[in-house]
Chains A and B, each alone.
Chain A
């Protein structure tokens, strides 16, 4: 059974339809990339999966359980966490308080202390800034905090919306290295990015979206073919 299975998903904002029949699945411990130009519906897809937007039709199954129509707070407790675009850390709260908020969605509260220690091990920078106001961290540190805050809930699957946004190439490399370590611990990861090359070489499979639909599915091997990638990303006319 797949960990996350999306079938024929239609979604949007009120009368404005954005997604048209999206289907994909991801297995436990695997990574999936979703790329495409601005405005093709990538963030809408993530918002629909996490329950921020109710889909018009289709199904979203997490570990075989239908989660369509559930609240975001219930979906977190079922093991699906989102690191939203722009990080959305609580700038006025301390780093530790941000991490403690991440524990809210954790099912097993008895192991919270262990979980805190574990994320600090993966992101050592958070220990030295524990008492600092999160808004004072650099962009890269804020991104690490946002990821740490999500994985502290012990998700089975982690969704990331544009994790490289506003980060320097060195910091992006660090963030993606940390994501590798999260995947190696058995958590599945879905990364949405505008910058295709970052994800195609990283993820086990990458979906290319255009006009609210999946246009192509490529593997890291396919991505080595620059022309094929360009055609998939921009369409064969380009």
Chain B
């Protein structure tokens, strides 16, 4: 039971980080960046291929490369397409996602690349009389710490205030002097670092990295930002967390019927959306007076 709760929180936290990364970019650009999956994938690949280096060095390289790739996406593709409309941006992000998958295939091969990342994390310790894996405790600690840092950045700093304002109304934020290029590049860089952390968390559990490694988690994180409230960074993180927790609990308690876990998850998502079409955190907007 303790393991099940820890697994649920750790998967919830992982999806919260992925959803927050997506939400940051959506907030400033109204872009659903499908290529976020490839940011998670590149982080995992780098952690695998630099496995001989000390873990912290390997992670720093992964975080820097992933953040740079995220900023490059914005500078080379999305910035040039800004103002063309959401449909074109969406298709561009699809295209970029598929293109990067093929590039990864060329560089790393079509077969999964594998390495034992932080093997000490697969050990077990006793918590409240039950055996739990070190990796699930580490994941909970990492996600809580990162979410607290992200929360501080978003809630307490000037950059965070600008990101929140831009997520509500980017046009008005610019009229107040918020520098669009700088803010969008910062959002992509932060999104890249978050993707690198997600890549690290998932590669410890599943070190078989293939070109489409990050796709599944990105799709579920997208579901999370929709149910959390797509215009709210807090909502994005909360939605991601909820999706992760539900999926983990379904996988644990459905037993042999876990093959239907996704069906149950999406049924719950539909119910949430029917009750709250704007997402769980849409209350603030509804309360606005006219």
Contacts and interface: CB of A to CB of B under 8 A. Distances in A.
Given A92-B285, A137-B289, A104 B177 contact: yes
A77 B174 CA distance: 11
Interface string A70-95: 01110011000110100010111100
A64 to B, nearest CB: 21
Contact of B177 (A90, A135, A136, A153): A153
Interface residues of B, number: 24
Interface residues of A, number: 33
A73 B179 contact: yes
Contact of B176 (A71, A92, A101): A101
A236 interface: no
Contacts of B169: 88, 90
Contacts of B172: 84, 88, 90
B158 interface: yes
Contacts of B174: 71-73
Nearest to B171: A52
A97 B162 CA distance: 10
Contacts of B178: 73, 101, 104
Interface string B226-244: 0000001000000000000
A76 B288 CA distance: 27
A223 interface: no
Nearest to B174: A72
A91 B180 contact: no
B61 interface: no
A220 interface: no
Given A73-B180, A135-B288, A93 B168 contact: yes
A22 to B, nearest CB: 20
A76 B284 contact: no
B173 interface: yes
B165 A91 contact: no
Given A93-B168, A133-B284, 9 more contacts: A73-B178, A81-B175, A81-B176, A93-B165, A105-B177, A135-B289, A136-B287, A139-B290, A153-B177
Interface string B275-290: 0000000001101111
Interface string B7-26: 00000000000000000000
Nearest to A166: B290
A82 B172 CA distance: 9
